[in-house]
């Protein structure tokens, strides 16, 4: 057996002291999988991957045939065989509450209104179920001040601009970004900006702002013209593709921001994804990702559990093309695969799906804070306001009830420390429909990771490739052969 990844582990959860492995449900702790290069096991605690020799694979097969229940002696032997004897004295992650992180990222909903009428929009065209409104300057600047107050002095802060369509509040966006940038320079702080936009309103002055300050600009684009125009009409019913492309051309002409990303929303009717991915990558985005719709005012567009089976096969088709391109030394920035590979490589193990309510908050037009941009104006996720500060008690309550080890059925799921239990907004509205898809996609990504790391030393570093792929070259491939379980 050899350890695939020797990346340092993140400790996002309290270890809660020593926890022995006796009586473990192995199906919740180990995920055996088979790649083109052989048999492997994913150790859930700490997100580690090991190669399996034939005898260990046989032991696991027998343990799993008994529904994953292995007695203490067998489990100890398996852990010894995996070379985990010393590490087994404690867990990397436990069910105890974590220390409340400092806020380091706040998004501003500058314009809770939109110039488009996307058919699936969860935000009710930016109104979030209320009336259309724009944020005032006093609220926007107070949000910046609040971020600087709450973030650690040496943290990299992120100020996000969202909506609705944030460029409907263009002047305020410019003033707020410049205010935050100057304040960061004066105080010696590190700040970055992000903007999510439909791209239809971008002018040269906007592109200059995104070029001159450290901006990640994410376009909402659904793929080719026909798919995009069908789902993302303007308010007058006309298509938005041409206006979006015009915004993209303005950015290309003026100069690119730090990162230019595309996020495509996939509905139950979208169909194959590969032609859409090819098209968006050809448009020149640095990162292209897909997000399925679970919450939509038009229920025909929202995914059912059955739709996720088709989605998985379409995602794997994209992932296989990305793998071929990577192996051929060509850039193919499929964001869903890249982010999964990065998490696997880092050994990420986290008890939450995202930073909502933890290090990340979102401010509505009046300056009230919520756990994230999708949970704006939901009283169950209210977390203070920008003038008086984030509500630490509400954030602590939110995190202590959201730990993935406390959730059913998550606490018995092998994918739990990579998945984190599912988006709060989607779980609240639809429950957990996507679990088989999440596990299927992660298993594909685990196989892809092993294949790439085995081949990495043979691949020359490629200019423009994601850092993860190139850094796989650095993964140790030292073999550590251990005896198989003696009592298997």
Give the residues lining the site for ligand SF4 (CB under 6 A).
Answer: 353-354, 356, 372, 374, 404, 409-410, 413, 415-416, 419, 421-425, 432, 435, 438-439
CA angle 211, 213, 216 (to 5 degrees): 75
Minimum distance from residue 378 beta carbon to ligand SF4 (Å): 10
Rounded CA-CA distance 480/488 in Å is: 20
Token look-up 């974590």 returns 98
Nearer to ligand SF4, 74 or 107 (CB): 107
Minimum distance from residue 126 beta carbon to ligand SF4 (Å): 15
Which residues sit opposite 192 in a β-bridge?
Answer: 158
Relative to beta strand 48-51, strand 38-43 is antiparallel
Nearer to ligand SF4, 114 or 184 (CB): 114
Minimum distance from residue 341 beta carbon to ligand SF4 (Å): 18
Sign of the C-alpha dihedral, residues 238, 239, 242, 243?
Answer: positive
Minimum distance from residue 160 beta carbon to ligand SF4 (Å): 11
Cβ atoms 142, 386 nearer than 8 A: yes
Q: How many CB atoms lie within 10 A of CB 20?
A: 13
Minimum distance from residue 45 beta carbon to ligand SF4 (Å): 14
Minimum distance from residue 294 beta carbon to ligand SF4 (Å): 10
Rounded CA-CA distance 289/474 in Å is: 26
Which residues sit opposite 290 in a β-bridge?
Answer: 264
Rounded CA-CA distance 480/50 in Å is: 10
Nearer to ligand SF4, 395 or 416 (CB): 416
Q: Is the peptide bond before 409 cis (omega within 30 degrees of 0)?
A: yes
Rounded CA-CA distance 405/386 in Å is: 32
Nearer to ligand SF4, 255 or 409 (CB): 409
Cβ atoms 49, 36 nearer than 8 A: no
Minimum distance from residue 261 beta carbon to ligand SF4 (Å): 15
Nearer to ligand SF4, 243 or 413 (CB): 413
Minimum distance from residue 277 beta carbon to ligand SF4 (Å): 21
Token look-up 């850039």 returns 331
Nearer to ligand SF4, 337 or 472 (CB): 337
Nearer to ligand SF4, 247 or 422 (CB): 422
Nearer to ligand SF4, 218 or 471 (CB): 218
Rounded CA-CA distance 178/175 in Å is: 5
Instruction: Provide the token pair at 12.
Output: 């996002």
Relative to beta strand 190-197, strand 133-134 is unpaired
Query: CA 163 → CA 20, 111, 113, 118, distances in Å?
Result: 48, 5, 7, 13
Nearer to ligand SF4, 1 or 413 (CB): 413
Minimum distance from residue 46 beta carbon to ligand SF4 (Å): 16
């Amino acid at each position: 057996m050899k350890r695939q990844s020797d990346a340092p582990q993140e400790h996002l959860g309290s270890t809660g002291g020593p926890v022995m492995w006796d009586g473990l449900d192995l199906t919740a702790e180990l995920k055996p999988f088979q790649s083109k290069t052989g048999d492997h096991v994913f150790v859930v605690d700490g997100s580690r991957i090991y190669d399996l020799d034939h005898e260990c694979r046989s032991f696991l097969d027998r343990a799993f045939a008994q529904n994953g229940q292995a007695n203490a002696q067998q489990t100890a032997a398996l852990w010894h065989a995996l070379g985990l004897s010393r590490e087994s004295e404690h867990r990397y992650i436990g069910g105890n509450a974590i220390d409340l992180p400092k806020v380091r990222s706040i998004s501003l909903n500058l314009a809770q209104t939109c110039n488009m009428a996307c058919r699936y929009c969860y935000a009710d065209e930016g109104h979030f179920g209320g009336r259309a409104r724009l944020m005032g300057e006093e609220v926007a600047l107070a949000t910046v001040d609040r971020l600087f107050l709450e973030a650690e002095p040496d943290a990299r802060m992120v100020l996000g601009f969202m909506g609705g369509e944030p460029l409907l509040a263009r002047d305020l966006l410019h003033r707020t970004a410049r205010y935050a940038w100057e304040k960061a320079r004066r105080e010696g702080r590190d700040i970055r900006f992000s903007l999510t936009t439909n791209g239809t309103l971008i002018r040269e002055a906007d592109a200059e702002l995104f070029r001159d300050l450290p901006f990640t600009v994410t376009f909402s684009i659904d793929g080719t013209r026909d798919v995009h125009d069908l789902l993302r009409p303007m308010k007058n019913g006309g298509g938005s593709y041409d206006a979006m492309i015009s915004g993209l051309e303005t950015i290309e002409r003026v100069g690119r921001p730090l990162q230019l990303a595309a996020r495509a929303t996939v509905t139950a009717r979208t169909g194959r994804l590969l032609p859409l991915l090819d098209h968006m990558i050809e448009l020149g985005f640095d990162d292209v990702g897909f997000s399925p719709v679970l919450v939509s005012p038009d229920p025909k567009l929202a995914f059912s559990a059955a739709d996720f089976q088709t989605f998985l096969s379409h995602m794997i088709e994209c992932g296989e093309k990305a793998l071929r391109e990577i192996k051929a030394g060509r850039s193919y920035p499929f964001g869903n695969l890249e982010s999964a590979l990065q998490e696997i490589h880092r050994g990420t193990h986290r008890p939450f799906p995202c930073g909502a309510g933890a290090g990340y908050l979102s401010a509505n037009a009046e300056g009230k804070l919520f756990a994230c941009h999708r949970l704006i104006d939901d009283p169950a996720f209210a977390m203070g306001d920008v003038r008086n500060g984030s509500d630490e008690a509400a954030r602590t309550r939110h995190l202590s009830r959201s730990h993935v080890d406390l959730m059913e059925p998550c606490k018995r799921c092998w994918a739990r420390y990579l998945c984190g239990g599912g988006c709060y907004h989607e779980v609240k509205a639809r429950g957990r429909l996507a679990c088989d898809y999440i596990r299927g996609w992660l298993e594909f990504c685990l196989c892809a990771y092993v294949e790439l790391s085995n081949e990495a030393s043979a691949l020359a570093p490629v200019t423009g490739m994601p850092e993860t792929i190139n850094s796989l070259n650095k993964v140790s491939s030292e073999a550590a052969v251990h005896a198989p379980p003696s009592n298997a």
